[in-house]
Amino acid sequence: MISERMKSAFLDQINKELYSKYLYLQMKAYFANLNLKGFVNWMDVQVQEENAHAMGMFDYVIERGGCVTLEAIDKPDNSWNSPLDVFKAVLAHEQFVTSKINELADVAQEEKDRAAMLFINWYIKEQVEEESNVGDILSQLELIGADKNGLFALDKELMSRTFVNPVIG
């Protein structure tokens, strides 16, 4: 059985993961308006990943005997001026999510919930990968600068990203 404190921490994180999905949907719309289909694809995969992350936690809480109660999702920002601005926001957001996953791990450790600690370790590893991938794209965008040919080449590259349903836990 999951403790009330642990359940509450997971429910808060589920909300953060669903917000991430919502934020990336907004970013997908931004790129769709620019007709950058590779960036659209990249964000679409990100949306699917965030949904999988939220549902992994959702199912885990239920599996541990907890009742899931969802809260409202905040409205995402949409005030970007360039693809570079978007990916700066993505990196900042992923760093925020990493800090929240680390806080979730702290609760599991304080509660001495070893099952939760093992489960959360997958998310910790995932965040390292997320930040690295976003950092790579951000670096490329910084190098590209105002070069539209470079932007279109990166757009083409991002078209190849595919969603692989993760095995969480």
Question: Over the stretch 22-70, which tens digit does the pLDDT of each residue have?
Answer: 999 999 999 999 999 999 999 999 999 999 999 999 999 999 999 999 9
- For residue 33, being part of any structural domain is answered with yes
pLDDT of residue 16: 98
Cα separation, 130 vs 70, whole angstroms: 25
- For residue 164, being part of any structural domain is answered with no
- For residue 166, being part of any structural domain is answered with no
Overall domain count for the chain = 1
Q: Which domain holds residue 130?
A: 4-158
Contact between residue 44 and residue 30 where contact means Cβ atoms under 8 Å apart: no
Mean pLDDT of the chain: 97
- For residue 96, being part of any structural domain is answered with yes
DSSP 65: T
Residue 3's SS3 state is coil
Cα separation, 117 vs 122, whole angstroms: 9
Q: What is the pTM of this model?
A: 0.95
- For residue 143, being part of any structural domain is answered with yes
Contact between residue 161 and residue 49 where contact means Cβ atoms under 8 Å apart: no
Contact between residue 116 and residue 103 where contact means Cβ atoms under 8 Å apart: no
Contact between residue 103 and residue 9 where contact means Cβ atoms under 8 Å apart: yes
- For residue 165, being part of any structural domain is answered with no
Say what percent of the chain tops pLDDT 90: 98
Q: Indicate whether 19 pLDDT > 80.
A: yes
Alpha-helical regions (H) of 64-113: 83-110
- For residue 133, being part of any structural domain is answered with yes
pLDDT of residue 146: 94
Indicate which CATH number applies to the domain containing 139: 1.20.1260.10
pLDDT of residue 169: 74
Q: Residue 118 CB: number of other CB atoms within 10 A?
A: 11
